[in-house]
Amino acid sequence: MTDNDKAPIDFWFDFSSPYGYLMSEKIDALAAQYGRKVRWHPILLGIIFQATGSRPPADGVTSKGKYMFHDFYRSARYMGIPYTPPSRFPLPTQNAARAYYWLHGQDCALARAFAHAVYRGFFVDDRDISSPDTVLDIAEKLGVDRTTLAAALQSPEIKARLNDECEQALAAGVFGSPHVVIDGEAFFGADRLPQIEHWLEIGGF
């Protein structure tokens, strides 16, 4: 089997997910080592949690929530990824997700650059990525026409695309972020990167 015959890896995430951010910084380079491409799928965890009867795992109040806020920072240090705890967390991310899908329809590489910029904007620069203006600012800095994208964020087609992606995520068994699927095998969490690498290296285990 040639590299071109290998199925893409699916990466499901929410832009407000710290572990999704950590995965986003590593998954493309790791996949490329094994001749794989990655399909990025921003989704809305609110829809996922509502459909699965779950709730956000980190509330900052319970013992589990306090642990997870500490672990976000520790995991970033361990992985060598810049991280600044955002002052507002979590945030709605539908504008960023809609922008991603519209950009993806124009230019895949540009959409990927935008996704990285949004994640870093939130988890490094503490920007309010829930704001349409912030989303437009990020895209404009990448050379995207602000007015055109602003209109696209409100288009029924892009709203439907995001809803469809959330439905596809649920159908694929996605229950949180990040959720990576390789040849039908699901891996949940940024801490599964070593298992993902081993799976790619030997073709399953």
Confidence of residue 150 (pLDDT cuts 50, 70, 90): very high
pLDDT of residue 94: 98
Confidence of residue 183 (pLDDT cuts 50, 70, 90): very high
Distance CA 2, CA 153 (A): 38
Confidence of residue 62 (pLDDT cuts 50, 70, 90): confident
Mean pLDDT of the chain: 94
pLDDT of residue 59: 61
Counting beta carbons within 10 angstroms of the beta carbon of residue 98, is it exposed (0 to 12), middle (13 to 18) or buried (19 or more)?
Answer: buried
Give me the domain span that covers residue 160: 3-202
User: What CATH number is given to the structural domain containing 162?
Assistant: 3.40.30.10
Confidence of residue 24 (pLDDT cuts 50, 70, 90): very high
State the total domains in the chain: 1
Beta bridge pairs of residue 12: 41, 179
